[in-house]
């Protein structure tokens, strides 16, 4: 049975880097446009490099296993509920709906999934299939909605060529499928560049807690905390808190419960696989969601607050799951 301390240690880098980002934003150390520049660096440079190498090294056949069926079922229900809630209760526009749905079901599989599952299971091999599923299926669907709203329906035909995330994923899939071996110099450079993505995204996330984004056409729901504090008692503030709370509840409670129901009673997975699927489904919202939201100016505050609050709540839910389903 894992102790609480090893589980929490996986969260330490997230809070540390987010806190550093907040201090950088508060002191204006990098200037007024640093958050925008850092987000663009992550979206256009670091993240594509990391995704390309990750997918190119991962056999695409790893999709084909029963555990992934349970994980995909949890993701489908969570994202569907996020989409439905945003439409029925909060009247979000299509781009914001896409971000809300993604925030409800897109797990932090890399920089939290790896340390948490290594502590609990001693094995992080499930990270690969989960990342492939999210990168190759979930992300393109969300970016297609975001890009379509920004550029029109015709532009969707050329979306993979214009969007660096999708282009990197597609090229990585081609390399993986064909078994090509990339030069060592290229992979080492890509590893260094891709490794900068997660810490830079967390720094930018922290900066967003203080910085005021410039007026660029964002919806009123994307005003920063400085203008619309979380304790704001206006009807708009209450609506925002309700939306964040509902999204966090779907992400940290509903998604793992659906995965548990499918993996257990329906698929009868053995205990080790059952624990793996439920743990991954209970991981908090990935900071990638905020990166996409900020890049397209859609639902950035919802994404940011969901990342932060789901990360905090998941420290408790992951501990409960490891205690309830882990080996005696």
In a domain, 229, yes or no: no
* pTM, to two decimals: 0.79
In a domain, 222, yes or no: no
In a domain, 182, yes or no: yes
pLDDT of 47 > 80? The answer is yes
> Mean pLDDT for the chain?
84
In a domain, 263, yes or no: yes
Which residues, 6+ apart, have CB-to-CB distance to 271 below 8 Å?
A: 325, 327
In a domain, 79, yes or no: yes
Q: Which two tokens stand for residue 308?
A: 């932060």
Number of folded domains that form the chain: 1
The mean-pLDDT minimum among 8-12, 134-138, 153-157, 183-187 falls in 153-157
Please report which confidence band the pLDDT of residue 292 belongs to, taking 50, 70 and 90 as the band edges: very high
| The pLDDT value given to residue 149 | 57
Host domain of residue 72:
4-213+234-325
Provide mean pLDDT across the span 58-84: 90
Q: Which two tokens stand for residue 239?
A: 């609506």
Q: For residue 132, how far is the Cα from the chain centroid?
A: 13
CATH number for the domain that contains residue 29:
1.20.1530
Tell me how crowded residue 265 is: count the other CB atoms within 10 A of its CB.
Answer: 8
Residue 327 Ramachandran class (φ > 0 left, ψ -120 to 50 alpha, else beta): beta
Report the distance separating Cα 290 and Cα 278, nearest Å.
24
In a domain, 228, yes or no: no
In a domain, 270, yes or no: yes
Work out the angle at residue 87's Cα, subtended by the Cα atoms of residues 82 and 90, and round it to the nearest 5 degrees. Answer: 90
Indicate the SS3 state at residue 312: helix
DSSP label at residue 218? -
Report pLDDT digits (tens) over 218-241.
Answer: 434 444 443 444 555 567 778 889
pLDDT of 254 > 90? The answer is yes
Report the distance separating Cα 309 and Cα 324, nearest Å.
23
pLDDT of 121 > 90? The answer is no
> What percent of the chain clears pLDDT 70, i.e. is strictly above it?
84
Report the distance separating Cα 136 and Cα 55, nearest Å.
9
Provide mean pLDDT across the span 70-89: 95
Please report which confidence band the pLDDT of residue 86 belongs to, taking 50, 70 and 90 as the band edges: very high
Report pLDDT digits (tens) over 91-112.
Answer: 888 899 999 999 999 999 876 7
In a domain, 227, yes or no: no
């Amino acid at each position: 049975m894992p102790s609480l301390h090893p589980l929490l240690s996986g969260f330490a880098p997230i809070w540390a880097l987010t806190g550093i980002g907040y201090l950088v934003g508060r002191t204006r150390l990098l200037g007024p446009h640093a958050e925008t520049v850092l987000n663009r660096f992550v979206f256009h440079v670091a993240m594509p490099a990391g995704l390309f190498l990750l997918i190119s090294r991962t056999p695409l056949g790893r999709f084909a296993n029963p555990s992934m069926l349970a994980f995909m079922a949890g993701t489908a229900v969570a994202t569907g509920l996020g989409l439905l809630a945003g439409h029925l209760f909060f009247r979000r526009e299509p781009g914001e709906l896409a971000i809300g749905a993604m925030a409800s079901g897109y797990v932090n599989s890399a920089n939290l999934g790896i340390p948490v599952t290594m502590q609990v299971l001693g094995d992080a091999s499930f990270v690969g299939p989960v990342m492939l599923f999210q990168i190759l299926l979930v992300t393109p669907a969300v970016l297609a909605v975001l890009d379509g709203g920004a550029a029109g329906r015709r532009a969707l035909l050329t979306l993979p060529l214009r969007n660096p995330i999708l282009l990197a994923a597609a090229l990585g899939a081609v390399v993986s499928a064909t078994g090509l071996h990339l030069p060592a110099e290229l992979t080492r450079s890509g590893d260094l560049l891709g490794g900068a993505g997660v810490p830079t995204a967390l720094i930018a996330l922290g900066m967003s807690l203080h910085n005021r984004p410039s007026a660029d056409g964002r919806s009123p729901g994307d005003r920063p905390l400085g203008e619309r504090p979380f304790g704001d008692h206006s009807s708009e503030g209450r609506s925002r808190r309700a939306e964040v709370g509902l999204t966090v509840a779907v992400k940290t409670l509903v998604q793992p419960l659906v995965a548990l129901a499918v993996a257990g009673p329906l698929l009868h997975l053995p205990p080790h696989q059952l624990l793996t699927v439920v743990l991954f489904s209970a991981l908090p919202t990935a900071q990638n969601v905020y990166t996409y939201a900020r890049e397209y100016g859609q639902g950035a505050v919802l994404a940011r607050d969901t990342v932060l609050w789901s990360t905090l709540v998941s420290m408790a839910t992951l501990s409960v799951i490891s205690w309830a389903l882990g080996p005696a």
